[in-house]
Amino acid sequence: MIMDGNRRYARRAGEHVLVGHAKGAATASNVLEWWLKYLPNTVTVDQDHPTSQTQVGPKYLTYWAFSSENFMRAEEEREGLFALMAAEFKSLAFTSLVHLFRVRVSFIGGASERRRFPLELQETMDMVESITAAYDGLFLQVAVGYGGRQEVVDAARSLVAQGKEITEQNLSTETYCAQLGLPPVNLIIRTSERRTSGFFLWDTQGAELHFVDKLWPQLTERDWLDALRSFSTREIRGGK
């Protein structure tokens, strides 16, 4: 999930940008609930066609919450975002659905970028990862301080440090997804704009794209289901 449009949502409403980010955080919480509501092998009813049923729901979900470029935003916005992120991430550790469905939460991004966050936020991320580390039911990733090019650089540096040759196969074992044992991305959903901005640059070669012409805080459950159903009807050729 590329969550785009919080600031524009706030400006159009005549609100401070942090209000937009707070609205966006609420939408992210909604998506978490929708994700768990429509799990793999869960039969859902199409409201437009009540007699038809569709099986939808990914086992893995990743939010892009904060890019490496976001560190360049104004200090007031950054500090407000850090406080909001700390509160939202901490709430994950006490969300009953996370424990009921055994959701492992991981934070993805470069180690050097992670150290740029306030200590309280770093400790919160460590705490959430520790509490959910033993879970293996579903997998939620939150990309923070993430940059697609930096991920490839980090993967190459890791190979060099190990004395390994830099090849496509070896690089594929060093991406953030691979290090967590996650499969390559198969669907990117983005609100507001029609580009990927380098999200999971290496692991999205075969990914399908779904764009929602709304700002992130405006995303609805119908939009979420439409994205999953659209993906489920596509013929995935894999280059063949």
User: What does DSSP assign to residue 141?
Assistant: E
Q: In Å, how far are 143, 157, 192, 193 from 110, measured between CA atoms?
A: 10, 12, 26, 25
Q: Is 4 one of the annotated active-site residues of the chain? A: yes
How far apart are the C-alpha atoms of 9 and 12, rounded to whole Å?
Answer: 5
User: Where would I find the beta strands (DSSP E) of the chain?
Assistant: 42-46, 49-56, 60-67, 103-108, 138-146, 187-191, 208-212
Q: Is 126 one of the annotated active-site residues of the chain? A: no
* 145 neighbors 161 (Cβ within 8 angstroms): no
C-alpha 151, offset from chain centre: 15
User: Regarding beta strands 103-108 and 138-146, do their DSSP bridges make them parallel or antiparallel, or are they unpaired?
Assistant: parallel
Q: Which one of the listed residues 30, 70, 170, 186 is annotated catalytic? A: 70
User: Where would I find the beta strands (DSSP E) of 10-135?
Assistant: 42-46, 49-56, 60-67, 103-108
Q: Which one of the listed residues 4, 6, 154, 203 is annotated catalytic? A: 4
Q: Indicate which residues carry an active-site annotation.
A: 4, 70
